[in-house]
Chain A
Amino acid sequence: MTLSRRTFLAAASAALVVPRIALAQPGAGRVVIIGGGFGGASAARFARDHFPALDVTLIERSRTFTTCPYGNLVLAGRRTIESITFGYDRLAARGVRVLNQSVTAVDPAAKRVRLADGTEVPYDRLVMSPGIDLRWGAIEGYDEAASARMPHGWSPSLQPITLLRRQLEEMPDGGTFVMAIPDNPFRCPPGPYERISMVAEYLKRAKPRSKLIALDAKNGFSKQPLFQDAWEELYPGIVEWRGASSDGRVMRVHPATMEVETEFGEKLKGDVVNVIPPQMAARIARDAGLVNQSGWCPVKPATFESAQVDGIWVLGDATIAAPMPKSGFAASSHAKHAIACIAASLAGRAPPPATLFNTCYSHVGPDYGISIVGVYRPGPTSLVEVEGSGGISPRNATMTPERRQQHRQLEALYADGWYASITNEMFG
């Protein structure tokens, strides 16, 4: 039996989510946000706080969100997974309609989003902050099954960091922790190096005869001089980092024997093997036609509207926003700007001037934090860094020993402050 078009349309319209507010007031409109991470949750909160004429719906498949930031502290045993996991109740109490559903399709022509239960959600402006998918198979042998033995610990929605934590705890003293780190671009550029630091701290404390070997598919990384100074100072003899030119690129993995194999065929065996695989924009962004051949979503740098599909604003790690990094803070900055642009477009005004902003803190030891800052404005084809601004924390050699200790201590404290502030903004 085939459903007639008329019957289908009647059924579809019966399932429409009806907006709560009248659309008569100036600048009013239905804003639907897909994805409840740093981009989506920040967008929802910012819209509710500053643009009361907007009717805001947040669609997120999970009832809770575990942050990637501070996951490395869970790995080191300094935080619990519960302390980095949040719910959407407060956003709902602020007037955001939260739908805990999977999105099955986006129809930009009809301006509707279809959910797994068949509901269709109409929108005037769509925001997508879909996050990332891992490229299974990009490293030969590294598929979802392999990740149970060789955890990635990189996307909490796929695998909790606690799996890697358990393996680290079970590792014998004198064991080897092997890490594979991908080439750019990937989520959280300093993340693997904060992870090296946090694992090394745990090993030094609990399993001092152990080693960490990090195999990297590139030759340089975020905050590199600061991390390498700290490893030498805090974890001598524990951390070995190998870049691409020192045969650091992992080409295939052998989960049965817990080995990774490099470009030149060297096999390294780990007691724990952490593989952070190459990544791409999440499926829903690919299905909606937002990605280009790179697997990521190009956006108009002045507004964060998709460069490929009109009426959809794209935020966060899924976007091509370089030189902005794929970070939670960056996603929240994209979110606020995109919401302001959307509000302006609904009110018939020009978009506001864009200043995008990011600060990423990393913990490298107890009371030892470092940071990178960036301030960005839109250029003709991409964002550009504001000249003379931003950069990384000063290196050890540039400071007196007293100032150095104070600086690292303050940045560790401020990292905690940033985390408390931004998670409170999204979920508090």
Chain B
Amino acid sequence: MKKLALATLLAVGLTGCSGSEEPQVLNLYNWSEYMPQEVLDRFTEETGIPVVYTTYDSNEAMYARLKLLDESAAYDLAVPSTYYVSKMRQEDLLMPIDRSKIEGFDNLDPELVNLDIDPDNQYSVPYLWGTTGLAVDTADVDGEVTAWADLWDERFEGRVMLTNDMREVFHVALRVLGYSGNSTNPDEIEAAYEKLTELMPSVRTFNSDAPRMPYLEGETDIGMIWNGEAVMGRDGLPTLEYVYPAEGIIAWLDSFVIPKNAKNPDAAHQFISFVLQPEISALISEDIGYATPNLAARDLLDESVANDRASYPNATDMINAEFQTDIGDEALQVYAKYWEMLKSGQ
């Protein structure tokens, strides 16, 4: 009886709030501050479709929500990073992209399409890409730093920063040991863990919110950083240098995907085409600070941006570079176990 009363109450409240079928909108589910407002405004102006921009702060949270919501998910477009595309594709969370409705796909860098994460780009269209490399504050560090292995140097005790990202941190240790950053071999992962425990006394902090900040705060002198952050960090700390380590950087790619239950897939396709216009892609890259995969856009970029080696690496910088791949669930558990041991200092 009580429950019935409550249910009625709820039902009344609900019908009062859920509106009738709305006209076409675009529900964009994206990282915060990862799309200039100007682009959204211009899209609405051109197509008449309003954009509702909702944000998330990690791939994990985005994935968990899309997966849980399933049928009731109301997102038309999301922007997962690298291997989350393959993960979501394999778990049937995505709608295939209708290439006939996309204009400008040919503008994309051939190096960044048809990757293992999504062969033939059936489910994803690259948006922005970047790398995770070494940051060195040359004001406080003497001598050349060229490799991830240099982090283990004793003179950096208490001055090292790592990203707060399990996969990336293990990636570095695995590369130093000569393994693949996507290793699924438990022995190799354990060896990487052992290697990282040697590094722990040097590690001052983990940061994946804004990895440039510990350098600017003066807390750390050397460590990991994302290239876009390094570019931004130079504004406040001109001596902050972005180094491509000999063992290879970690590369990642954020792509547009359309969730399986999108209500406005047409608007989503329209938006992707809109972003693929060279002029718009260039605008995004200059505003956000990461590299656009749109080759046609690169010619439109400001000289200083286009020639910045941190944002747009040359071919030698990319030697040994590795994209992260989906390592599967079993390996993930092994990583998670060692990560927890590492962080809690055992």
Q: Do A and B bind each other?
A: no
